[in-house]
């Protein structure tokens, strides 16, 4: 079975499709491998490939495809605004074992959107349409898009939806916030539901799904074909399996404090390298631990103490104290 066929099979199921969101410098090959220990997602999206006239496929990201440890379909995501470069990147990526090519229209990082890429493209809908048309021609496998509602308004999605349909996009992931909203509260699931009702292709909902209960509520409210989860899965690698258990009526596994600490130890080993000095190793895992706050009673204190750690032992002491609180 090819990656595309596997992807189609998953989309045809009655159960919601569960995708791991692409998070730059976080959801890399090592993290994918770690996630498989806990049940893992149904589909994995790569970190975005930066595409411009002088670009080459980043080798570190490409290894997620060429050494895919998940036994699940991989979607290769691109970010950029130069049409010839995006066409070239899409063609090169299709030479590898990917289920789909995804266009990033949602990255909210200022360093990205100020270059009119990612979420910045939502300020230039005509250019978005040009990119969609060009990529639809260049992509012979599944062509997907990940977008936010708009740059600084929620009306842009109403303009985008007909364009996605017009250009035959095969799946759309909608993060229910604007770009300028970043990750603040106020995810508009109602607008995801509205877009889903107007699109002929499957839709994934993205944004603030932090538990199996929330996952069920979002699917019910929006009617989407599945969910894309990022930050919630970083802090709770059991989430995908918990969602499956919950929706199938099984008892939902509840990790103990010891389970969570063992995961953090495994995460440390996954994201660091022995030849790197300890301070750099500790700073590397802080990118992941920043997402742990919402599940803790004293999130502010945990984040304050964790971000000031300089040693592995100090970091684990902070984690042990707060996860057992």
Q: Hey, where are the domains in the chain?
A: 3-247, 257-323
Residue 201 annotated in active site: no
Which secondary structure element, helix H or strand E, spans residue 144, and what is its range?
Answer: strand 142-148
10 Å Cβ neighbour count for 238?
A: 20
Determine how many CB atoms are found less than 10 A away from the CB of residue 186.
11
Tell me how far apart the alpha carbons of residues 27 and 20 are, in angstroms, rounded to a whole number: 8
Confidence (pLDDT) at 324: 77
Choose among 79, 76, 9, 78: nearest CA to 42: 9
The pLDDT assigned to 184 comes to 86
pLDDT of amino acid 325: 55
Residues in the chain with pLDDT < 50? none
Query: For residue 293, what pLDDT is reported?
Result: 81
What is the topology classification, in CATH, of domain 3-247? TIM Barrel (3.20.20)
Partner residues linked to 76 by β-bridges:
101
Q: How far apart are CA 310 and CA 312, in angstroms?
A: 7
Q: Which of the following is catalytic: 107, 201, 309, 319?
A: 107
103: closest CA among 169, 198, 4?
169
**What is the pLDDT at residue 323?**
86
Owner of token pair 């260049």: 138
SS3 of residue 40 by DSSP: coil
């Amino acid at each position: 079975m090819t990656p595309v066929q596997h992807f189609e099979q998953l989309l045809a199921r009655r159960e919601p499709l569960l995708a791991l969101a692409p998070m730059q410098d976080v959801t890399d090959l090592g993290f994918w491998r770690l996630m498989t220990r806990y049940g893992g997602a149904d589909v994995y999206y790569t970190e975005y490939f930066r595409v411009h006239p002088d670009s080459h496929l980043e080798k570190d990201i490409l290894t997620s495809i060429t050494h895919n440890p998940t036994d699940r379909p991989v979607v290769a995501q691109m970010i950029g605004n130069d049409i010839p470069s995006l066409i070239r990147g899409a063609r090169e990526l299709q030479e590898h074992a990917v289920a789909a090519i995804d266009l990033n229209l949602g990255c909210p990082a200022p360093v990205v959107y100020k270059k009119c890429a990612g979420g910045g493209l939502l300020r230039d809908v005509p250019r978005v349409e040009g990119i969609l048309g060009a990529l639809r021609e260049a992509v012979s496998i599944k062509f997907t898009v990940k977008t936010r509602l708009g740059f600084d308004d929620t009306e842009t999605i109403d303009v985008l939806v007909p364009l996605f349909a017009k250009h035959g996009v095969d799946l759309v992931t909608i993060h229910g916030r604007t770009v300028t909203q970043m990750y603040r509260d106020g995810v508009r699931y109602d607008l995801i539901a509205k877009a889903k009702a107007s699109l002929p292709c499957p839709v994934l909902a993205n944004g603030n799904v932090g538990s199996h209960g929330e996952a069920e509520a979002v699917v019910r409210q929006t009617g989407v074909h599945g969910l894309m989860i990022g930050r919630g899965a970083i802090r709770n690698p059991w989430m995908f399996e918990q969602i499956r258990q919950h929706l199938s009526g099984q008892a939902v596994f509840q990790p103990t404090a010891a389970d969570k600490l063992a995961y953090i130890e495994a995460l440390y080993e996954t994201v660091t390298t022995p030849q790197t000095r300890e301070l750099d190793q500790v700073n590397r895992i802080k990118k992941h631990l920043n997402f742990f706050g919402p599940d803790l009673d004293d999130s502010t204190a945990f984040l304050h103490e964790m971000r000031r750690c300089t040693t592995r032992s100090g970091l684990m002491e902070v984690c042990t104290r707060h996860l057992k609180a």
